[in-house]
Amino acid sequence: MKETASMNIPARSEIQERDRWDLTPLFPTDDAWESLFSEIESLLPRYESYRGRLAESADLFRGAIEFDLNTSRSLEKIFTYAHLKSDEDKANQRYQGLYQRAMSLYTRASELSSYITPEIQSIPGEVMERYLSDPGLNEYRFYLDKILRYRPHTLSTEIEQILAMSGEMSHAPSEIFSQLDNADLTFGTIVDESGNEVELSHGNFSTFLMSQDREIRKRAFFQYYRSYDNHKNAIAAALNYSNKRDCFYSRVRKFENCRRQGLFADRVPDDVYDNLITAVKNRLSPLFTYLDFRKRILDLDELHFYDTYVPIVKHVPFSMPYEEAVETCSAALAVLGEEYTATMKKGLTGGWVDRYESRGKRSGAYSSGCYDSPPYILINYRNDNINSLYTLIHEAGHSMHSWYSNRSQPYVYHDYTIFVAEVASTFNETLLSAHLLRRYENDRNMKAYILNREIDNIRATLFRQCMFAEFELLTHRAVEEHRPLTLEAMREMYRGLLATYFGGHLALDEELTLECLRIPHFYSPFYVYKYATGISAAIALALSVEGGGASVRDAYLAFLSLGGSMFPLDELLAAGVDMSTPAPIEGAISHFSGLVDRLIGLEDVLRG
């Protein structure tokens, strides 16, 4: 069966030209890539000519900054082409080689330029004040301010060198977890609904949880977590020492605590994090209402975790060719104006997108590019899957964010932060759902499906990620307060959070307390909260733009144009969302509640 299925996947050469992305704006040929690669490689030794001299004069200082930025710009161009070509076909050895060479060149440049930031921070205050008042450095003021903010947390040259030497070693906890999770853990096999014996994996775990056969999804759940139970002590040790690592670096760098260090780069105050947790915990009733409704529709005595992914709308026929999907995206986003939709449509049909699956092509989807390229999109579009439509408009949101940022900002400020990255994409998804609900007004089955999909998306991104964020906070505080962070301590914390966030509306199997051991983002401290704040901001902006006039729309488009020229909270404030208050979180939960009420209103359809 597997051989037959693989034969149906076309080779790269069989994909029509119009269905591939056009990388010629990056490099017309591989030879052009080689030429720039050689040029940049030959320029790297120039980094040494600036070492130790940044305090000599404003002109030399500006020259060093511009050399570094220009080098980075070229390196990004080199890397982008190599990684896009390698993702076209992972079996193509030529492009795998180009990718490895690009990574090597990037690493060498990073090593040679590593002195620049600490040397800027060590420039005497009076010299830096003189530099900042120099008209020739005006455009770099925010760039320098972000570096200089770290002065109180930058140590002596000798200590900084020791900390740099510890960098590779500090990744040990996450590397150990990654090897266990991705290489050593096996989950056995499961017989699927068609009677086929299938190996259970990270990739298909959620697919099994969506099975209409409850015994299959129950078996998948317990079998999956049995593997974590077998390795629970090792994984708990890795997570414990990851937290200890965070605590060590926050103390050495003179931060008040781990969270303060984690939020410092984006200049996010603790209140934003605390407001998120408090606002969600104070308004869990719509989630409870939804869980109770799900239990009722599925006709269950008890709702378990393995019952929360299965679609409650069993089957909705769907077919939408790629070109129609582009038109649908344009219609859904018409409120953003002609420039946005015309640019997006031209890009989606004219070379930005690598549309369909081919043999060896990277799975999944992403938006990627650089300052000197279009904002490319890799997708594996399927006409028969509505999720492909949502993926397309999601990645188009990222790409249009990049298009506006690159057009409006100089290179030094074109790249926006992770904090705002998901806003533009989730904004687009929210408007798509609203559009589809209007489009299928007379198809109550499709309406129920779209509502259920949107509800489950918000549930996973807002409520669940908020719970993860609180777990992160609790575990780091345990280490900071010198309390033991044992396996049982972790499970007890997580058990308490499950009880709070599901409030007796979900039967909590003890195996679910092992979920805290399988989240890779916990090894990147204080990251997951950005998913919850991002979707809250996106919903607030989408509802505002859809119900507002030209000024509201223009404020949102101006937000897309800001790139990294401001701190993320200031950018969102300019767009009309104040994340320093709980209002956007509360608004997102109110929106969620309204969707739940609309779905409950279609109960007769779901039972039919």
Q: Which stretches in the chain have pLDDT values below 50?
A: 1-7
CATH topology of domain 232-320+329-335+404-608: Neurolysin; domain 3 (1.10.1370)
Q: 510 catalytic, yes or no?
A: no
- Give Cα separations from 247 to 64, 138, 470, 520 (angstroms): 34, 37, 17, 18
| Domain boundary assignment for the chain | 10-165, 186-230, 232-320+329-335+404-608
Contacts with 363 (C-beta within 8 Å, 6 or more apart), sequence order: 380
Catalytic residue among 88, 119, 395, 429: 395
Q: Which CATH superfamily is domain 10-165 in?
A: Oligopeptidase f, N-terminal domain (1.20.140.70)
Backbone angles phi, psi at 265, to 5 degrees: -60, -35
Identical fold between 10-165 and 186-230? no
CB atoms closer than 10 angstroms to residue 39: 11
For 160-199, how does the pLDDT look when each residue is reduced to its tens digit (9 = 90+)?
Answer: 778 877 877 888 999 999 899 988 999 999 999 889 999 9
Q: Which two tokens stand for residue 129?
A: 């004040």
CA-wise closest residue to 115 among 41, 56, 48, 46: 48
- Considering the segment(s) 186-230 as one domain, its CATH architecture is Orthogonal Bundle (1.10)
The whole-number pLDDT of residue 607 equals 83
Q: What is the residue-wise DSSP string for 291-325?
A: HHHHHHHTT-SS-BGGGSSS-SS--------HHHH
CB atoms closer than 10 angstroms to residue 560: 25
Backbone angles phi, psi at 194, to 5 degrees: -95, 5
The whole-number pLDDT of residue 169 equals 87
- Locate tokens 């092509």: which residue? 361
Give the distance from CA 340 to its chain's centroid: 23
The whole-number pLDDT of residue 3 equals 35
Beta bridge partners of 198: 190
E strands, 372-415, are 376-378
